[in-house]
A = this chain, B = another copy of it.
Amino acid sequence: MGGDHAPEQIVAGARLAAERLDARISLVGDPDAIAACLGDHAAAGRIEIVPARDVIAMGESPRAALRGRDDTSMARAVDQVRTGSAQAVVSAGNSGAFMALSAMRLGTIPGVRRPAIAITMPNAGGQRVLLDAGANADCRPEHLVDFALMGSVYAEYTLGLENPRVGLLSIGEEKGKGNELTKAAHALLEAADLNFCGNVEGGDIFGGRCDVIVCDGFVGNVVLKVTEGAAELLFRRIRQVVADSEELRPLAPLLGDALRAVAGQFDAAEYGGALLLGVNGVSIVGHGCSDANAISNAIRFAHKAVGGRLVEHLREVFSARAEARA
């Protein structure tokens, strides 16, 4: 029921995913509204409806949304994972409320101090992980170490990168460069059981120096939005230059296809969802503006994370760390 195009596009996305994946999908919310969108496309019994009467609106403060409201579609969806009825939950609704509900109802993995949002970014060679992309606006150095560990596990078991290299996002490559947070985190990361490759800069996010980039949630969210905004402005400028040129104008449709292909690599909806790492379950935070395709991609991504046993691997790594310390 959450997101700018709910429930139509959410249901349509679930239908796409049910056709594409070997997965069963539960749609949680107002049964009548969902059934109306679903029509008779029940995808051979692979989609079921789980009723919930209440809906958390996009603009609600997460705090207000959580208080004594057990029958929201979001709470019921998270509960599907908590009770074992589902292995992953996807939402395009109020992201603050969804993160809070996921953390509260699923609980955090023992040893994880703060769950973090991990996103994948396009880069020269393929994809890389950046976290935290917005769950924690203020972080302490030890939180960044947790993010590094979680990002490593995610890169290895969901993206298939062997012994992933972890970089600390800073302003200057030398160890002493950065702010108080990154300088303290640098020392902790060097001592951690990680393939730590030191400080990286903003431009390295798109280069090939590392596979996992760690930063606080304020910086990570700014990076995500700046990347999307810069790409959007750039495409608009290029289209304008083409439209203004007599020689290039006839090729605009052809070129438009090429640009769209590249734009897709810079579009979160295309290259995968954002994952709340560190909770006891796979929890995917979709864009509010998700269309059917974005929802289908997010479900595919959830399926991949479950298949790679992401949560189990995270539990092992954090439990091994606790034992090494004991």
Residues of chain A having any CB pair with chain B under 8 Å: 122-124, 134, 137-138, 169-171, 178-180, 182, 201-207, 215-219, 221-234, 236-238, 241-242, 245, 247-248, 251, 254-255, 258-259, 261-262, 265-266
Instruction: Give chain B residues whose Cβ lies under 8 Å from the Cβ of A238.
Output: 238, 258-259, 262
Instruction: Give chain B residues whose Cβ lies under 8 Å from the Cβ of A255.
Output: 248, 255
B230 touches A227 (CB 8 A): yes
Instruction: Give chain B residues whose Cβ lies under 8 Å from the Cβ of A124.
Output: 233, 236
Q: How far is the CB of A166 from chain B (nearest CB, A)?
A: 17
Partner of A226, one of B134, B226, B266: B226
Q: How far is the CB of A242 from chain B (nearest CB, A)?
A: 6
Count the copies: 2
Instruction: Give chain B residues whose Cβ lies under 8 Å from the Cβ of A215.
Output: 222
With contacts A179-B137, A230-B231, A232-B203 taken as known, whether A222 is within 8 angstroms of B169 at the C-beta atoms is yes
Q: Can you offer 8 A-B residue contacts whose CB atoms are under 8 A?
A: A134-B171, A137-B180, A138-B180, A171-B221, A178-B218, A201-B225, A204-B229, A248-B258
The winner among A169, A170, A179 for most chain B CB atoms within 10 A is A179
A222 touches B137 (CB 8 A): no
With contacts A218-B179, A230-B226 taken as known, whether A262 is within 8 angstroms of B248 at the C-beta atoms is no
Using A179-B218, A203-B226 as known contacts, list a sample of 11 further A-B pairs with CB atoms less than 8 Å apart, ordered by residue number in A: A137-B180, A171-B218, A171-B221, A179-B216, A201-B225, A204-B229, A206-B230, A227-B230, A230-B230, A230-B231, A247-B251
Measured CA separation A137–B216 after assembly (Å)? 14
Q: How far is the CB of A263 from chain B (nearest CB, A)?
A: 9
B180 touches A203 (CB 8 A): no
Measured CA separation A182–B219 after assembly (Å)? 12
A266 touches B138 (CB 8 A): no
Q: How far is the CB of A248 from chain B (nearest CB, A)?
A: 6
B205 touches A226 (CB 8 A): yes
A237 touches B222 (CB 8 A): no
A234 touches B251 (CB 8 A): no
Which residue of chain B is the closest to A266 with respect to CB atoms? B234
A258 touches B229 (CB 8 A): no
Measured CA separation A201–B223 after assembly (Å)? 10
B233 touches A234 (CB 8 A): no
Instruction: Give chain B residues whose Cβ lies under 8 Å from the Cβ of A171.
Output: 134, 137, 217-218, 221-222, 225
Measured CA separation A310–B198 after assembly (Å)? 40
B245 touches A262 (CB 8 A): no
Measured CA separation A230–B130 after assembly (Å)? 14
The winner among A123, A224, A227 for most chain B CB atoms within 10 A is A227
Measured CA separation A203–B228 after assembly (Å)? 7
Which residue of chain B is the closest to A233 with respect to CB atoms? B206
B229 touches A206 (CB 8 A): yes
